[in-house]
Each structure stands twice: as C-alpha cells, then as structure tokens.
Structure 1
Amino acid sequence: MMQKPVVLAVYVVSGVHAFLGVLNLVVGVIASIRAEVWRAHSVSPIWSGGFFLISGMLGALCARRMSSYVIMCFTAFSVVSLVTAVVSIQLLRLGMVNHTTDGHTFQKEQQDPLIYVALSVAGLEILVCLISVLLSCRIAKVAKEEMCKQRDGMFHVKVLGQKDIVVVTRPSPPGHGHGREELTAV
C-alpha cells in the first residue's frame, strides 16, 4: 500500500513545479516588458518557467498513468529543468551588476526586485527538481511492483510425471467464466 503516498507526493511536487513555472513566466514577461533593452537576464525566467511548467504537467501525467515511458520523461525533464534553473541563476546574476569596457564590474545603484524574485524562484525550483528526481525513482519502483503483482499468478507450471509438463493458466475470477483452471500440455 505504498502506492498512494508516493502518488500523492508526485501530485504535490507536480503542482509546485507548475506553480513555480507560471510564477517564473509571469516574472519573465513583466521583466521583459519593463526592460529598455532585452538581455539574457530579463528573459531567462520565461525559458526556465516554460521548462518548469512542462515538468509539472509531466509529473501529473506520471502520477496518473505510471507507465515507464512517462516516468522516464518526467525524470529527464526534471533533470533538464534543474540545469535550466542553474543557467537561469547565472544569467540573473548578470542582471545585478554593470560591466565596464575595461572588464570591471560594479553593483548597480538601483536593483530590480524582479531579479531577486526570479532568483528565489529558480533556487526553489532547484530543490523541487531534486525532490522530483528522487520521487520519480520511487514511483518507478512502485510501478514495477504493481506490474509484477498483476503478472503474478497468471499461470504456473505443473509437472505431472517425468515427461508431462502442463502450463496452467490462472482461473477466471468468480462471475467471469466457469472458475476452473485451463490446462495446456507442453
């Protein structure tokens, strides 16, 4: 019965992914509208927000379907979102300083609060991505156990003598047939 807590946790993490993605998209759109000149730090929240939102949608699909393909997609997109968050932090750092032609940097006199919001969201997203990678491993284990449970008991082999081996299929559940085993000689 470990399935329900893991699935619930994946739903929660997916919701957080999606919320942070939408928040990052909004911050990125506002930052790019307010920017006099578009630079990498002003539009990086848009890109990272898109990846976070897709990760959230894949996580919800993963919790609903639990197929190996969807679980792998969720894991891969969580890792890509993690890398995107790290790159976004690096680009947002550039928006906090001014660069001179001789290679020196100095802190801007007037800081943009949206950069701090975007940095905070990207930092939170790194934590969420790490948690979602761990949860995707747990849900993969749960899905594998569920698949083995479904396959378990489908048939078994009976040895009736030295040369007689019989494959016996699982009896039909009550109400779905005669309820007796079917024998297949091999």
Structure 2
Amino acid sequence: MCTSRKIIWSLLLLSLVEIGLGVSSIALGAVGVRRAQAEHKTRQGDASPVWSGVCFLICGLCGVLCAKKRTGLIMILFSACCICGLIGGILNFQFVRALVKRSGTSHSLHLATMCLACLGISSCTLSTWLTCRLASSEQQRMFLEREHSLHHSHEMTDKEIPDNSSNGIPQISYNGRTSPA
C-alpha cells in the first residue's frame, strides 16, 4: 500500500517534471512562432505550444503548493489546474497536428512539440490521480484523528468523579434551589 509520504513525494516529483515540460513547451512554442514570423506565414495554432506550456507550468506550480500544504481547497485548485493542463495539452496536440498536415516545414520542431504535449497530458492525468489518492489518504488520516479524539474524550468522561451528594436520588432544581425528586 502506498503511504501518504510516498504520494506526496511522487506528486512533488511529478510537479517538477510538469514545470520542466511547461518551460520547454513555452521555449519550443516561442521558437516556432519566431520561425513562422520569419517566413511571414503565421497560422492559427502557431502559439498553441506556448499556451499549453503555460498550463503545464501553472499546473506544476500548483502541484508543488499542494505537496507542501495539503488542504482541501489547494487539492481542488490543483485538480482544476491539472484538468486545464490536460485540455491545453490535447488542444496543443491537435493544433500542431493540423499545422504539420498543412505545411511541410519544421517537422522536427513539430514532433518535439507534440511529444512534449503527450508527456504533459500524461503527467496531468497522473497528477490528477495522485491528488485523488492524496485526498483519500488525508481524509482517512483526519477521520482517524477525530475517532481517536472522540475515544479519548469518552475515556475522560468515564473517569470523572460522580456527585455523591444526592446518594443516588436525582436532584431537581427550582430557581437555584435543589430538592430531591
């Protein structure tokens, strides 16, 4: 069984990979846009690697934050960023694939961009799964802490000293005065 610590380290490592993929995708996208501008043939989809790289970068940064602070809100934010990164990667792949079909130039650049998109899609999918595992682990930890706390409070109430002033007869209170029932 995977412990919470292993999940956190895996999530942190995967988030660092996503940051690297994001920076690489942004750099390749910038090179692609420069080449298209130099050829005076800018087309729709030339900048898609930049945008998917930004999605991967934000996803990786949120993943690092999620590995450090494991609150529910941050886990939800990270899951949403992973889904945005997943969508951005899929759109990037589709745009670049359409560019490759239309033009015969820069096959190696387009291939590298598509490979980065596939790796980003895979890492976002895996990050989403790890976040769900982490949330489940944190929920179980909080449940066990709450259960232990409730068990401890029941032990404390059992050890309280009973009031023997009534000798087993219940007391009724009227306007501050007690009388036997």
With normalisation by structure 1, the TM-score equals 0.75
Matches within 5 A, 1:56-95: 56-95=60-99
2:168 maps to none
Unaligned 5+ runs, structure 2: 162-181
Q: Partners of 2:160 and 2:50 in 1: how far apart? A: 60
Q: Which structure shows the bigger proportion of residues in strand conformation?
A: 1
Cα shift at 1:151 = 2.8
Q: Partners of 1:152 and 1:91 in 2: how far apart? A: 52
Q: Which structure shows the bigger proportion of residues in helix conformation?
A: 2
**Is the aligned partner of 1:127 residue 2:127?**
no
Q: Partners of 1:58 and 1:148 in 2: how far apart? A: 26
Higher relative contact order (CA 8 A, sep 6+): 2
Considering only CA atoms, is the larger Rg found in Structure 1 or Structure 2? 2
- What amino acid is the match of 2:3? M
Indicate the percent of aligned positions where both proteins have the same amino acid: 26
SS at match of 2:42: coil
Unaligned 5+ runs, structure 1: 99-107, 159-165, 169-180
Q: State the 4+ residue runs in structure 1 displaced beyond 6 angstroms.
A: none
Residues 131 and 115 from structure 1, CA distance in 2 versus in 1: closer, same or farther, beyond 3 angstroms?
same
**Is the aligned partner of 1:97 residue 2:101?**
yes
1:154 maps to 149
* CA displacement 1:61-118 (0-9 Å, x = unmatched): 11111101111111111111111111111110121123xxxxxxxxx44344211111
The answer as to whether partners of 1:155 and 1:167 remain within 8 angstroms in 2 is no
1:175 maps to none
Count matched residues: 156
2:31 maps to 30
